[in-house]
Structure 1
């Protein structure tokens, strides 16, 4: 049984006669009458178990969107009901309003809408529906919690999508209506045009020039249908909590204080969208001690949707990443030379030989890029000099920087390219490196 604030007011009303004629017997009698009234009122309330309820939610949604959770209550009795209803969801969904007061007539139904505003990705399970049915005097109520299973999939926010138009514009300049004049292993013949000063003499087509009054040069277009493999590390290194930047720079995204994995996911989504628009085949793997998710063979508009669903329930784990298994998974995924991006923390020199061996193994056939997110708090700490504590932090940050540089040098000796950027800038810098490699003909 639940009692309302009215019962407390009713008890306080008994203090008025007690002030003029104090009596212990009257006080206990009055209190007993109030308790009895509350019990009788609660017994007179319609049972909330007679309600029929159905739950619905519009989803899946991104972590930056809102949706409506609908709860429909149907009164099957011949008595009207006054109800307090709590449609419970996990706190990360920020349900609003938290409670509803509704009145349902006889043999009718009422729809209750709760707004959900998630802040983190993942599959969220609805909690119980708690219903209070008040009696005629609103002194007491019956309460029951009913199970109505329902789930909502919250997809990654993909904040880096704001960077996509500018990168697509650069990509169109490179391989759209303006073919590149640079020739490399990753370019193919596109067309002929007249020679202008500054063109590479090696690109002159002498046979075509013999049939034309002008010198003709070949134009080259970056090859399409290349393979891009993105490996997202969701092991121990991805669980480190990185700080938020103090000020937003050009091309940075507002990740806030988030695990390193969030930066890697944003990088994977942006690069996958860009590579797909460039005509390349995209493959994405999420690995730790084993392969947690795999997206391959999806092209066009469905690539981001497939990746978002794959990353929905991926969270950092404390397992050590098995890079031998990751390299084997890459080789099983693609049989041809590919552009392999490893989104992970570059380990200090000599600390993880398994990682270096896996990079060297992949670099024998593929173009490998190791993209590592650095902590903005660490970058800020390097410039602190105001007091002794900041000096010690700056020294520690400088030592970590030297360790990162030594680790990056080891990776480069293994035959891979390296990219180290702040967590909020890593997606943009990785996309830029991909475009630069396309422009230079290395992809």
Structure 2
């Protein structure tokens, strides 16, 4: 694309005044006023021809692969061309990113072209992208801009900021006496054999290994430990209801943060963790991984769980998830529902899922409804709001009760206590050998 610069516009405007005066003073020689315009057009043609070099232009964007929500990061634009070195560039980005001091500027000359450093801030979780790059430069007279639009593909995974979650996870691990990333070994608890030790008064008779005791001539007891290598599935609903905000943040973001906290604990404890995201259909599915080194992969896949305006299809999502599980697993479902009618299909699918797996539902308390239900009635509208809100809360408890009758465990916690409540229940499951 070629278009005139501001200098060309001002030059054309400056030539219009003399042309008008010539036509006014010497009407028979009015055509002399066109000389400036013709001369300017000639310079524009020369400038446009001399500034060409689009075929030799090569530009790239260097951005980090991942960044935390709310953090700032740098982006470097590099352009290589054989034409004039004075150029400007601007990068196109999506709504998840915001430029700190503009999305473009002049390229600083380098040996083979130019470079530009920009600062952006990550606003929302997800996979952000830089999709195109505008590069323009002027000819030798500065009258014409030569502009090129280059398609680029640079993606940045905007991840939840888990720095506070890591500290909270370490605190919970210390409180639960989990040393060096492994579950604490307790005599008589768990199902995985650990060692033999001398029988002590107070130990159960079932712990005695009679064969080895007869062989050694003294009573020996079997010591067990909490079983590791359990399969943990973190299923996150990203449908319409989960994208509604609670205390200024979408529910799905709070669910992702809680899921990452529990994934960090589970990987530290030696269990296998997989991530599953769904709305109207399954969206994200990661394989089961083990070990703290794979937490970065789980964190990156969590960034792919995008916001959705579609209704959640529990039948398709949970049926697909159940078909992929080849062993008993702890399935943790982060979701939300309004009434028994919208949750009816979910209840039918959960009944089949609980036959083989341990299912835990993580729900956030609806503080807005609770506030409306407890609001002092000062007018008829306040009474109507309180009655409707109370009815919705009762229907919600009906669904929770039906889930528990089907064998599922349900935790309804405050949004800021969702992660710790999940970790406490997960550690309780391990201590009680329910996994």
Q: Give the TM-score category using the shorter length.
A: 0.7 to 0.9
- Asked if the contact 2:15–2:36 (Cα under 8 Å) also holds between the matched residues in 1, the reply is no
Which of 49, 52, 58 pairs up with 1:53?
Answer: 58
- Asked if the contact 1:57–1:152 (Cα under 8 Å) also holds between the matched residues in 2, the reply is no
Which of 397, 402, 409 pairs up with 1:405?
Answer: 397
What whole-Å deviation, never above 9, does each CA across 1:236-256 have from its counterpart, x for those lacking one?
443x41222xxxxxxxxxxx4
Q: For the residues of structure 2 that align with 1:313 and 1:374, how far apart are their CA atoms?
A: 25
Q: For the residues of structure 2 that align with 1:209 and 1:222, how far apart are their CA atoms?
A: 24
State the SS of the aligned residue for 2:86. strand
**1:90 alignment partner in structure 2:** 94
The yes-or-no answer on 1:275 pairing with 2:266 is yes
- Asked if the contact 1:234–1:286 (Cα under 8 Å) also holds between the matched residues in 2, the reply is yes
- Asked if the contact 2:267–2:292 (Cα under 8 Å) also holds between the matched residues in 1, the reply is no
**1:233 alignment partner in structure 2:** 237
What whole-Å deviation, never above 9, does each CA across 1:39-92 have from its counterpart, x for those lacking one?
566542623626522203233113434443332223414xx4533322332343
In 2 relative to 1, CA 108–364 (structure 1 residues): closer, same or farther, beyond 3 Å? closer
The yes-or-no answer on 1:142 pairing with 2:145 is yes
- Asked if the contact 1:153–1:312 (Cα under 8 Å) also holds between the matched residues in 2, the reply is no
State the SS of the aligned residue for 1:94. strand
What whole-Å deviation, never above 9, does each CA across 1:181-238 have from its counterpart, x for those lacking one?
5746x67566657869xx67667759799999x9998754211122222222233443
In 2 relative to 1, CA 370–206 (structure 1 residues): closer, same or farther, beyond 3 Å? same
Q: For the residues of structure 1 that align with 2:158 and 2:221, how far apart are their CA atoms?
A: 49
1:157 Cα shift?
1.9
State the SS of the aligned residue for 2:407. coil
Which structure carries more relative contact order (alpha carbon 8 Å, separation 6+)? 1
- Asked if the contact 1:92–1:120 (Cα under 8 Å) also holds between the matched residues in 2, the reply is yes
- Asked if the contact 1:270–1:427 (Cα under 8 Å) also holds between the matched residues in 2, the reply is yes
TM-score, normalised on structure 2? 0.77
1:418 Cα shift?
0.4
- Asked if the contact 1:86–1:130 (Cα under 8 Å) also holds between the matched residues in 2, the reply is yes
State the SS of the aligned residue for 2:124. coil
The yes-or-no answer on 1:74 pairing with 2:80 is yes
- Asked if the contact 2:90–2:133 (Cα under 8 Å) also holds between the matched residues in 1, the reply is yes
Number of aligned residues: 416
**1:357 alignment partner in structure 2:** 348
**2:421 alignment partner in structure 1:** 429
The yes-or-no answer on 1:343 pairing with 2:346 is no
In 2 relative to 1, CA 329–134 (structure 1 residues): closer, same or farther, beyond 3 Å? closer
What whole-Å deviation, never above 9, does each CA across 1:414-435 have from its counterpart, x for those lacking one?
1111011233332222122101
State the SS of the aligned residue for 1:149. strand
Q: For the residues of structure 2 that align with 1:346 and 1:412, how far apart are their CA atoms?
A: 15
**2:155 alignment partner in structure 1:** 152
**1:310 alignment partner in structure 2:** 301
In 2 relative to 1, CA 339–11 (structure 1 residues): closer, same or farther, beyond 3 Å? same
- Asked if the contact 1:263–1:373 (Cα under 8 Å) also holds between the matched residues in 2, the reply is no
What stretches of structure 2 of length at least 5 have no aligned partner? none
TM-score, normalised on structure 1? 0.76
In 2 relative to 1, CA 368–131 (structure 1 residues): closer, same or farther, beyond 3 Å? closer
**1:251 alignment partner in structure 2:** none
What whole-Å deviation, never above 9, does each CA across 1:14-63 have from its counterpart, x for those lacking one?
99x9xxxx99949x999989877875665426236265222032331134
Which of 415, 420, 423 pairs up with 2:412?
Answer: 420
Q: For the residues of structure 1 that align with 2:240 and 2:116, how far apart are their CA atoms?
A: 43
- Asked if the contact 1:343–1:370 (Cα under 8 Å) also holds between the matched residues in 2, the reply is yes
The yes-or-no answer on 1:165 pairing with 2:170 is yes
Q: For the residues of structure 1 that align with 2:234 and 2:369, how far apart are their CA atoms?
A: 26
In 2 relative to 1, CA 356–91 (structure 1 residues): closer, same or farther, beyond 3 Å? closer
1:278 Cα shift?
1.3
- Asked if the contact 1:63–1:120 (Cα under 8 Å) also holds between the matched residues in 2, the reply is no
What whole-Å deviation, never above 9, does each CA across 1:382-412 have from its counterpart, x for those lacking one?
5544864666555544333222212111111
Q: For the residues of structure 2 that align with 1:125 and 1:113, how far apart are their CA atoms?
A: 17
